[in-house]
Chain A
Amino acid sequence: MTVDEHLIGQLANLAKLEFEAEAKTEIIKDLNRILSFVEKLNEIDTDGIEPLIYLVDDSPSGRDDIAHLQISQDEGLQNAPKHDSDYFRVPKVIS
């Protein structure tokens, strides 16, 4: 994978971030270093090995479908930078 300005643009877009041109050069360098570090993993022969995602074989996961409320509307809204008595308010997404 080559890290170039186009890729940085895409990643920035996905992360909803904006970078200055010189910052971008730095990021390209950093990302390339990270990638070449991770590349090392490719040296290991993983043919025929199932990817290990979780360390548990089975788990009695899940709860019964019982509803209960633990926080109030006021408590839910209190940390929002902007809210009214009912809703969270955010800058308009669609005009």
Chain B
Amino acid sequence: MSREIYEPVIGLEVHIQLLTNSKAFSADPAEFGAMPNTNISVISLGHPGTLPFFNKRVADFALRLGLACKSSITHENIFARKNYFYADLPKGYQITQDKTPICTGGSIRIKTADQTTRDIAITRIHMEEDAGKSMHDQDPYDSLIDLNRAGVPLLEMVSEPEIRNSEEAYAYLTEVRKLVRYLDICDGNMEEGSMRCDANISVRKKGETRFGTKVEVKNMNSIRNVQRAIEFEIDRQIALLESGGTISQETRSFDASQGNTFSLRSKETANDYRYFPEPDLCPLFIKAEDIERVKAAMPPLPEELYQNFVSTFGLSDYDATNLTDSKPVALYFNQLCSLTKNYKAAANWVMGPIKSYLNERALEMEAFPLAPEKIVELIQMIDQGQLNFSVASQKIFPILTENPASSALNIAGEQNLIQNSNSELINEWVQQALLKYPEKVLEYRSGKTGLLGLFMGEVMKLSQGKADPKLANTLVKAALDAR
């Protein structure tokens, strides 16, 4: 197909459900997963005579995200009503921000396929409340409404339409999810809907400066599905244009089982939301001291940790990227590095035995049983020649994770695993090994140096695996080379 002559233009709107205790404008709990219609109040039910009361933490969380994206912060924030009728919106309007989003500008840095970085500009981040949840498939005649989510605080983050393909969209969302998790403002769970994404997609011929007609795609419950929906939509739009058709401005839904999108509603009958300033709430003023307070309490950001891992700890780009993917992993590694100077060993322990342990058990880092001190003890024992890495990781580490209160030294002692770095003793084993295979010694000396492994194996066997392999290797080689 003539995909090469077209250029997709993609903008993403991400809804970020905030991890506050209470709702945005009322004190009922904001937690996910409660029994239906138990986290409610007269305010979130929209009863007459009730007034919204703003949760200050919502603004703090918005500031965290805005500061992390280097956005400009709006001083005077006016809430607005967005009016529409739907059964899961009891008041008949959503409290949101229209003309004065709390953050404007800023960007999200993504890594593209060729490993270069690109900054995707952010148009705005604004605060709003979520609607309730409707279930249409539980009953033949009724839709069921659960208002636990009604009033839960959201940030809506809108990107500029400068994402050029589905891989960039994937990278952008991965970065946003990582960021909100690092900031402790959202759990970033797209499957449960605590992070949601709508994609605005259009295509135009390369060189064209005007945008094509855009289509909004909704209902993608994973980052991968956003990528799939964009791929499908680009193909659909190009095929339509190539066959002489025109794109109609509409909202489409993604069907994950079919991998396609279908029309939900056309924009000709578009809702006119009739925004106007919310008369029930005073304007919210963000002062310099609010910004300073939020800045002072900012959690570490992935970008900062990455830079630190590379420049202070001397890690490679690959290792530093790997270790900053998840905040708990990055913080654990950071703790290790505050206890040992052997940063490379710390990185290897986290990316090797610890990650395998977690993967095999499908656990998150938070569930890892060992305190950083225990890993540092293993690193030190290896550095001091008391253990080698394979004994430490394959014999001691599994026992230690079962008995987190124990210590590497205790286990090594009990299991008789302390490595022998006594060169006299090792030399005895070396002599025994050489005596055992006199003709192999001759072969080695006539040039078959590959036989070194045979002698090494014999020494390790004689030592029951406890000979320091580096030292043993040197001694075996020395004994063979000395005629």
A contacts, CB < 8 Å to B: 10, 13-16, 53-54, 56, 58-59, 61-73, 76-77, 79, 82, 84, 86-95
A64 near B56 with CB under 8 A, answer: yes
Cα A13 to Cα B52 in complex, Å, equals 28
Contact of B282 among A54, A63, A72, A77 (CB under 8 A): A54
Question: Within B22-40, which residues are at the interface with A (CB < 8 Å)?
Answer: 22, 27-31, 35-40
Q: Does B59 contact A (CB under 8 A)?
A: yes
Q: How far is the CB of B271 from chain A (nearest CB, A)?
A: 7
Q: Does B391 contact A (CB under 8 A)?
A: no
Cα A58 to Cα B289 in complex, Å, equals 15
B37 near A14 with CB under 8 A, answer: no
A71-B40, A86-B35 given as contacts; is B143 within 8 A of A93 (CB)? yes
Question: Within B85-134, which residues are at the interface with A (CB < 8 Å)?
Answer: 85-87, 134
Pick from B144-152, B319-327, B422-430 the stretch touching chain A: B144-152
- Chain B's closest residue to A58 (CB) is B285
Cα A77 to Cα B56 in complex, Å, equals 29
**A68 — which chain B residues lie within 8 A by C-beta?**
22, 27-28
The 4 closest A-B pairs by CB, nearest first: A62-B56, A65-B57, A87-B144, A88-B145
Question: Within B179-206, which residues are at the interface with A (CB < 8 Å)?
Answer: none
Q: How far is the CB of B139 from chain A (nearest CB, A)?
A: 8
**B84 — which chain A residues lie within 8 A by C-beta?**
14
Q: How far is the CB of B241 from chain A (nearest CB, A)?
A: 30
A62 near B54 with CB under 8 A, answer: yes
B28 near A69 with CB under 8 A, answer: yes
Cα A88 to Cα B87 in complex, Å, equals 9
A66 near B21 with CB under 8 A, answer: yes
Q: How far is the CB of B36 from chain A (nearest CB, A)?
A: 5
A70 near B142 with CB under 8 A, answer: no
Contact of B143 among A53, A69, A77, A94 (CB under 8 A): A94
Question: Within B48-89, which residues are at the interface with A (CB < 8 Å)?
Answer: 53-57, 59, 78, 83-87
B27 near A89 with CB under 8 A, answer: no
**A14 — which chain B residues lie within 8 A by C-beta?**
83-84, 271-272, 274
Contact of A90 among B31, B59, B145, B284 (CB under 8 A): B145
Cα A57 to Cα B54 in complex, Å, equals 17
Q: How far is the CB of B64 from chain A (nearest CB, A)?
A: 14
- Chain A's closest residue to B44 (CB) is A76
A73 near B27 with CB under 8 A, answer: no
A53 near B142 with CB under 8 A, answer: no
Contact of A63 among B29, B40, B47, B55 (CB under 8 A): B55
A87 near B35 with CB under 8 A, answer: no
**A87 — which chain B residues lie within 8 A by C-beta?**
36-37, 135, 144-146
The 0/1 profile, CB within 8 Å of A marked 1, for residues 1-41 of chain B is: 00000000000000000001110000111110001111111
